Amino acid sequence: MSDFSENEHLERLLRQVAHIHFKRTHMYLEKIGLYKGQPRLLRLLWVQDGRTQKELAEEMNIQPATITKMVRRMQNAGFVVRKSDLEDMRVSRIFLTDSGRQIRKEVENIHQTLYEESLKDFTVEEKVLLRRFLMQIKENLLGAMGKQQNAKH
């Protein structure tokens, strides 16, 4: 096998694994009424309830219109409520409802199930190595992006 074929195969395999994991995650999440991006928004609120829509959009790196739509959908599902800021009525703050707090355990269970499904039959050592390899790939790519960004400026 040539280097090109091996490189191409690894890239394709990484993409396939990420895609399958994404699909499997959303199969589980849809069963409990959550959709793309919503678990991340919930996690941010579990850490600090009452964040502004602007803060959430910035933290999630999404457009304000997208966060507005997401919050509206989550309000309709009963996971969050939107309230005007007491000091600045132009600002909307997002708060968890009881349902939004209670669904945390289900989301955590889904992530644990996915972890177990993904790493079934791996030894502890293999899990440690896989984590280290993936972290190194991430750092390599982030470093390369930083070099490219610095070259542009």
CATH code reported for the domain at 3-118: 1.10.10.10
pLDDT in tens, 42-89: 999 999 999 999 999 999 999 989 999 999 999 999 999 999 888 888
State residue 39's pLDDT score. Answer: 94
Q: How much is the pTM?
A: 0.77
Question: CA 127, 130, 133: angle at the middle one, nearest 5?
Answer: 150
Q: What is the mean pLDDT of the chain?
A: 90
- 20-31 b/e with 16+ CB inside 10 Å = b? eeeeebeebbee
Structure tokens at 5: 């074929």
Report the C-alpha gap between 136 and 15 in whole angstroms: 17
**Residues found in the chain:** 153
Q: Is the pLDDT of residue 21 over 90?
A: yes
Report the C-alpha gap between 62 and 141 in whole angstroms: 22
Query: Which strands form 51-52's sheet, in the order they lie side by side?
Result: 51-52, 92-96, 80-84
State residue 29's pLDDT score. Answer: 95
Q: Is the pLDDT of residue 130 over 60?
A: yes
> How distant, in Å, are the alpha carbons of 79, 118, 142, 147, 152 from that of 83?
14, 40, 38, 43, 42
Tally Cβ neighbours within 10 Å of residue 69. Answer: 13
User: Can you name the residues that pair with 82 across neighbouring β-strands?
Assistant: 94
Element (H, E) at 61: none
State residue 115's pLDDT score. Answer: 96
In the chain, where are the structural domains located?
3-118
95 three-class SS: strand
State residue 91's pLDDT score. Answer: 87
